[in-house]
Structure 1
């Protein structure tokens, strides 16, 4: 395996037990993500996008195939990954600063040093003055920024993102996308980003992977994104290359979406 690959899924199949049988979520999936590459995964509802993220995180074990991370077989939890879920993971009884610092503290960083690092990260996500507030006092977009800082403070080599901006309104999603690109551009971590939003996928990613409808979902295509960086999401959507790529991806995806809803 090339050292330039952050993730390699090889022939991965994942099944879940049901009351009477087993449900085959994904089957024989091959997928690589290069180091420093931003890959978006799109597909119809229930096609196994999150399942692939969970396998890469070490939260699910494949029934067949293998997962390799930076050239080594994954055994147990993926300690090199940071995971930003769609659902919030902030602890409501802790302040914003404490929520961001806790990942370092749990790893053994002295409390004062962890809190200094947390304050730096709050500054980077535009929340320098909010450290003493509690999550209930923040807007949805602000809580997402705290969650992003909470993950990135540990400096993971791989970032797993499962519909992280899904619950947000359209304007806040644009702001969060631009913030993510700004932070990502500083060290270009490997990213696996699950989304249902084609505009979001094209605006953010280097490459887009398309999954088929389940059960036994697989990868049916991929597209490179030829748009230059840096990108401003609101403006890039008017680029003719963006519009053409959106049309081509939807042409490849349309039938699978219809299958999922039939």
Structure 2
């Protein structure tokens, strides 16, 4: 946590998000969401497929404006794009024609930094994510896990106060996800930014986060649970999953989440039918 009194990095108060469908009907994706993320806090959002997890993230990013309710960033109303946030998507956002170091440096260059300075900083971030020797490789020459590391460096080089992460490790295999999860924990521990992390994986959420928030099945999805993860830090993404405390918390949350997952699958089957 930063020195001084902690402020609220992201605050959603009764945020409702609705979309107009092609047949002119109004579809309410998320209804009256209330969520507060403190400065330096790591909050994971878990819920069934299609429940509006990414929608909430996009509201916090300023990419979507709620139909009603308010969004505040560090206690100020959000009126456009959230300039305090860095966004890591599930899909790679790397430019295929640029090397790893150029992909990381571009954020500083766009902001007006001299290229030599941007490249120096980019090399430092590549070393921080374990890719110091891969600066001149293009994305197609990197593994999925390596591309995700470059993506992390690409976001973090701008030093955002808030990290918004939408299923960032979803495409990776289980072992690589845990390795990248540990890397994320190390980077976050060094400079505790506020993190809003969307995932389908309850184990991943508990292993990484300070709090786990559960959303109901949609439509009109709501936040129906908010658990504090009272597991010690610094935390190892591998070892913490073997503890009795981890499994006890997983059972407690899954008892609520399981019903919502089954509702989501049932609704998807009805839509297909």
- Measured against the shorter chain, the TM-score band is over 0.9
Q: 1:218 aligns with which of 206, 222, 240?
A: 222
Aligned to 1:175: 179
Q: 2:7 aligns with which of 4, 8, 26?
A: 4
Deviation of the 1:14 alpha carbon? 0.5
Aligned to 2:210: 206
Aligned to 1:73: 77
Q: 2:22 aligns with which of 19, 23, 26?
A: 19
**C-alpha separation in 1, matches of 2:205 and 2:38:** 17
Aligned to 1:127: 131
3-state DSSP of counterpart to 2:219: coil
Aligned to 1:235: 239
Q: Where does the alignment leave 5 or more consecutive residues of structure 1 unmatched?
A: none
**C-alpha separation in 2, matches of 1:125 and 1:205:** 20
- Given that 1:42 and 1:198 are in contact with CA atoms closer than 8 Å, whether structure 2 keeps it comes out as yes
Q: Where does the alignment leave 5 or more consecutive residues of structure 2 unmatched?
A: 267-273
**C-alpha separation in 2, matches of 1:5 and 1:88:** 29
- 2:262 maps to 1:258: yes
Aligned to 2:117: 113
3-state DSSP of counterpart to 1:237: helix
3-state DSSP of counterpart to 2:15: strand
Q: Deviations over 1:126-157 (max 9, x none)?
A: 00011111000000000000000000000000
Q: Deviations over 1:48-85 (max 9, x none)?
A: 00000000000001000010000100011000000000
**C-alpha separation in 2, matches of 1:17 and 1:118:** 42
**C-alpha separation in 2, matches of 1:209 and 1:112:** 42
- 2:196 maps to 1:192: yes
**C-alpha separation in 1, matches of 2:248 and 2:74:** 34
**C-alpha separation in 2, matches of 1:23 and 1:99:** 38
**C-alpha separation in 1, matches of 2:237 and 2:62:** 32
Using the size of structure 2 for normalisation, the TM-score is 0.95
How many residues are treated as equivalent by the alignment?
A: 261
Aligned to 1:52: 56
3-state DSSP of counterpart to 1:142: helix
- Given that 1:3 and 1:70 are in contact with CA atoms closer than 8 Å, whether structure 2 keeps it comes out as no
Q: 2:144 aligns with which of 135, 140, 150?
A: 140
RMSD, matched Cα: 0.8
**Structure 2 matches for 1:145-164, cutoff 5 A?**
145-164=149-168
Deviation of the 1:189 alpha carbon? 0.2
